[in-house]
Structure 1
Amino acid sequence: MVRSPYIPYPDQVEFVQKQHFLAGWVGDERPLTTIEISSLFFNLQRNVLGSSLITGFSQVASSKSVRQYFVRGAEISKHHCSVLSKILSEDNLVTPMTSDAAPTRSKVSPFSDKLMMFHVAALNAAGIGYYGNSLGASPRRDLAAAYTRLIAEVGLYVEDGADMMISNGWMEKPPSSPDRKNLAKG
């Protein structure tokens, strides 16, 4: 993995003077803040690693539908990498290259399809959380729009995975609060 972009230490404290700080749609955009850069870079690295993992899962899954689901996930991850890389490169910042730790050529699964689906579901949930955190820490409007779009794309993918897990009988119902309305009916 490449190192994150280097930003020189500021010599003095600066305060935001204009609403333009929030801009980002068109025209003269301000440079990315260090928080925005670190969020973009972290999400980019996370997607590079996730794409590699899910590509490996796609090679070894026994079910054709699970394999196709994983291939789709790898494509989504690569698309997200291109979106995040573009934002960084527009600010003349370095972007991480694909890791040399690519999956092997093995087609023998060390895990069940159920376990791999559960793992991908957990990674997607964490990814949506990281995107949400980045959204909250990015005052530029174009970044907010990008993160919102990425969250929606992952959300649709997660829903399809949940449907697949339910139809295969793999999704356990988590503990829930009592249904008070139903209990009150007697």
Structure 2
Amino acid sequence: MELFNETTDLLLKKGIEVRSPYIPYLQEVDMVEKQHFLAGWWGEQRPLTAAEITHLFSNIQTNHMGTAVITGFAQVAKSKDVRDYFKRGKEISKEQIEVFSKSLHEDDLPAPVTWDAQVQDTTESPFSDKLMLFQISLMTAAGMGNYGTAISASPRRDIAAVYVRLQGEIGLYAEDGLNLLIKHAWLERPPHAADRDQLMK
């Protein structure tokens, strides 16, 4: 925690860390009185809630981190199909960052900045394609989990619908990653229940 705080302070001093969005403190309890609180597709939209802001901001941050990692992996991957898969993942991530950032900007809130410039220009891989593809599969699965959590904390229908759409998009991307792992014989079958029907034959 001390290292995290020191790092954050240094980033802030150098002006390369975007502060998390600031919202005013509540002066009194304000109860929701109308169904319009859930609206979002048409008409006037209510401002984002603190939970919605938190999830949008953190999902932009994790996508930025994923974009930087996958950029580095795409530069060094030896297999063309793995490299193409990484490039596609980078494009998906960048598009999703734009969608989340737009929601924050509409409420005059800051969005995190990219880390792409920090990726070294090397083409020599310190890792195998198998390890890099497995790592991206893990990050994609974690991203889907983050989106699921964000859906549950986003009462505004338009925000929840965006997460559902984007989750489907990365779900298809994750499936293609598993197909690549299977194609290259890199996917170990996880422990599973006994196949009783097979045992009874």
TM-score with structure 2 setting the length? 0.90
What is the match of residue 126 of structure 1? 142
The one of 162, 167, 170 aligned to 2:186: 170
Give per-residue Cα distances to partners, 1:124-161, cap 9 Å, x unaligned.
Answer: 00000000000011000001110001100100101111
CA shift at 1:16, angstroms? Answer: 0.6
User: Between the two proteins, what is the percent identity of the paired residues?
Assistant: 55
The answer on whether the counterparts of 2:68 and 2:116 sit within 8 Å (CA) in structure 1 is: no
Partner amino acid, structure 1, of 2:60: L
Partner amino acid, structure 2, of 1:111: F
What is the match of residue 46 of structure 1? 62
The one of 154, 168, 174 aligned to 1:138: 154
Pairing 1:24-35 to 2, within 5 Å after superposition: 24-35=40-51
The one of 22, 25, 31 aligned to 2:38: 22
Residue 105 (str. 1) matches residue 136 (str. 2): no
Q: Where has structure 1 moved over 2 Å in runs of 4 or more?
A: 99-102, 180-183
Please report the RMSD computed on the Cα atoms of aligned residues, expressed in angstroms.
1.0
Structure 2: 5+ residue stretches without partners: 1-16
Structure 1 stretch 100-109 or stretch 112-121: which is displaced more? 100-109
Change (3 A) 1:100 1:127: closer
CA shift at 1:181, angstroms? Answer: 2.7
Partner amino acid, structure 2, of 1:75: E
Partner amino acid, structure 1, of 2:153: A
Pairing 1:66-85 to 2, within 5 Å after superposition: 66-85=82-101
TM-score with structure 1 setting the length? 0.97
1: CA distance, partners of 2:146 / 2:113: 20
Structure 1: 5+ residue stretches without partners: none
2: CA distance, partners of 1:138 / 1:35: 7
Aligned length: 185
What is the match of residue 58 of structure 1? 74
